[in-house]
């Protein structure tokens, strides 16, 4: 049974409590707003042997693979730093034989999460891919990467992918309440499906807000409280990637990372400085400001462009009107109780 405030904790505690060696780990975010601090904490705790799912395996996948946390990777898109002359942690790990990888299309990857989210064992995907090597080349999933079935209605061949139900999802959102209701807006991507497909969910957020903020904007909630295991408040939690309404991408830091990532030594040096030597996100930001000043961060802070509020109100919130009369029957409580008595409906 969950204590009311028991879900709010540090990134350190959340990762140590809910992420284990050998887990199927899914990065909830897609391209934007990467859960950078949760990823860094996973690396700092030297977790290993993950089967890592990431829809668009850019920054997050590179640092996790570079740190040696990942054994198997399921993705649709990876980063190569520095173009032809450069390299990537994924490429280096594939060549070293320390990483196995399955390629899917964006749609197929997302379909696996949607199937998992809804409790289905597979999902129909778009059959054109049967002509490609995405379908033919298979790694650790073998026959179970795709299977083809006959449609019982049309008799046509249908391409399917198996459901994914990762052990744990780490995901960054704009805001959440202490119960775990997580609100996210902007490019929805596959964020909700990745989280809801998973067995455990760690949410980090730019800010923890009062429950009534959530209650007045339930359309922004993508993960309901009862699914969430941990809530971590981390301002700048996605830096150097961007969070809509909070800050833009930090091109400067991202460029430093990309340049470093071209070689194994470069990536190691970058991670020594920005991941391993920073105990937490506050320390990371302090180091950043100490080294580069605060003008870059100030310059990427979001200016407000608020969504129009939705009106969740109704005509009244009690069956009794201002005169104490029941709105339909027109009776006061005393009058109603008198009638109940007269009709013999009250039992002593």
Partner 1 sequence: MSKPYTLQELLVIAVAKEIHDYENVILGIGIPTTAGALAKSLYAPHATLMMESGVIDFEPLLPPNHIADAHSCRGFSYATDLFSAFTMTYRGFVDVCFLGVGQIDKYGNVNTTVIGDYYKPTMRLPGSGGAADFLSYAKRTVLTMLGGNFVNKLDYMTSPGYLGGGDSREKSGLFPRGSGPTMLLTTKGVFRFDPETKEIYLAQIHPLVKIEDIKKDVPWNLKISADLSETPRPTDEEIAFIRNFAPAQSAGRELSLELTIANMMSKAKKS
Q: Where are the beta strands (DSSP E) in 152-210?
A: 157-162, 168-176, 182-183, 200-208
Binding mask 326-345 vs partner 1 (x if CB under 8 A, - otherwise)? Answer: x-xxxx-x--xx-xxx-x-x
Determine if 215 is a binding residue for partner 1 (CB under 8 A): yes
| CA torsion through residues 60, 64, 65, 69, sign | negative
**211: Cβ–Cβ under 8 A, 6 or more apart, which residues?**
177, 178, 179, 181
Q: Which stretch binds partner 1 (CB under 8 A): 45-53, 207-215, 262-270, 273-281?
A: 207-215
Question: Could you tell me which stretch among 121-129, 136-144, 225-233, 238-246 binds partner 1 (CB under 8 A)?
Answer: 225-233
Is residue 224 near partner 1 by the rule CB under 8 A?
Answer: yes
Q: How far apart are CA 214 and CA 23, in angstroms?
A: 31
Residue 319 CB, shortest distance to partner 1, in Å, is 6
Measured from the CB atom, the residue of 121 and 248 that comes closer to partner 1 is: 121
The stretch among 54-62, 93-101, 116-124, 129-137 that binds partner 1 (CB under 8 A) is: 116-124
Q: Work out whether 211 is an interface residue with partner 1 (CB under 8 A).
A: yes
CB 227 within 8 A of CB 199: no
- Residue 323 touching partner 1 (CB under 8 A): no
Output the smallest distance, CB 232 to partner 1, in A: 19
What DSSP character marks residue 261?
T
Does residue 216 touch partner 1 according to CB under 8 A?
A: yes
Which residue in the set 315, 322, 323, 334 belongs to the binding site for partner 1 (CB under 8 A)? 315
Which is closer to partner 1, CB of 135 or CB of 185?
Answer: 185
The single residue listed with the structure tokens 């700092």 is: 44
C-alpha dist (Å) from residue 269 to 46, 66, 279: 17, 11, 16
Q: Which of 4, 133, 143, 323 binds partner 1 (CB under 8 A)?
A: 4
* Residue 121, CA atoms < 13 Å, CB-side half-sphere: 2
d(CA 123, CA 170) in angstroms, rounded, equals: 23
Report in angstroms how near the CB of residue 111 gets to partner 1 at its nearest: 14
The stretch among 49-57, 103-111, 123-131, 317-325 that binds partner 1 (CB under 8 A) is 317-325
CA dihedral 40, 241, 100, 193 (to 10 degrees): 100
How far is 110 from 215, CA to CA, in rounded Å?
Answer: 29
**Where on the chain is the footprint of partner 1 (CB under 8 A)?**
1-2, 4, 117-120, 177, 179, 181, 211-212, 214-219, 221, 223-227, 312-320, 326, 328-331, 333, 336-337, 339-341, 343, 345-348
């Amino acid at each position: 049974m969950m204590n009311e405030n028991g879900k709010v904790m540090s990134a350190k505690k959340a990762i140590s409590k809910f992420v284990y060696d050998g887990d199927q780990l899914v990065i909830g975010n897609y391209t934007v707003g990467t859960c950078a601090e949760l990823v860094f904490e996973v690396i700092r705790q030297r977790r290993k042997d993950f089967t890592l799912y990431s829809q668009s395996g850019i920054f997050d996948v590179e640092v996790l693979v570079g740190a040696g946390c990942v054994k198997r990777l399921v993705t649709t898109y990876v980063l190569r730093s520095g173009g032809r002359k450069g390299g990537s942690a994924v490429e280096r790990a594939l060549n070293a034989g320390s990483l196995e990888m399955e390629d899917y299309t964006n749609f197929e990857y997302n379909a696996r999460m949607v199937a998992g989210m809804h409790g289905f064992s597979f999902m129909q995907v778009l059959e054109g891919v049967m002509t490609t090597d995405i379908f033919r080349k298979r790694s650790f999933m073998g026959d179970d990467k795709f299977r083809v079935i006959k449609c019982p209605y049309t008799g046509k061949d249908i391409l399917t992918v198996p459901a994914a139900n990762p052990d744990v999802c780490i995901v960054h959102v704009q805001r959440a309440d202490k119960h775990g209701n997580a609100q996210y807006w902007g490019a929805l991507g596959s964020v909700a499906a990745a989280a809801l497909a998973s067995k455990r969910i760690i949410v980090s957020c730019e800010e923890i807000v009062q429950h009534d903020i959530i209650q007045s904007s339930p359309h922004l909630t993508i993960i309901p409280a009862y699914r969430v295991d941990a809530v971590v408040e981390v301002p700048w939690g996605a830096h150097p990637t961007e969070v809509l309404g909070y800050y833009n991408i930090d091109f400067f830091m991202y460029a430093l990372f990309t340049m470093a990532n071209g070689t194994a030594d470069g990536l190691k040096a970058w991670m020594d400085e920005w991941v391993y030597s920073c105990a937490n996100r506050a320390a990371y930001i302090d180091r950043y400001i100490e080294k580069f000043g605060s003008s870059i961060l100030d310059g990427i802070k979001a200016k407000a462009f608020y969504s129009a509020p939705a009106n969740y109100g109704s005509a009244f919130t009690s069956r009794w009107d201002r005169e104490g009369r029941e709105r339909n029957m027109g009776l006061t409580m005393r009058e109603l109780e008198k009638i109940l008595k007269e009709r013999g409906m009250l039992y002593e």
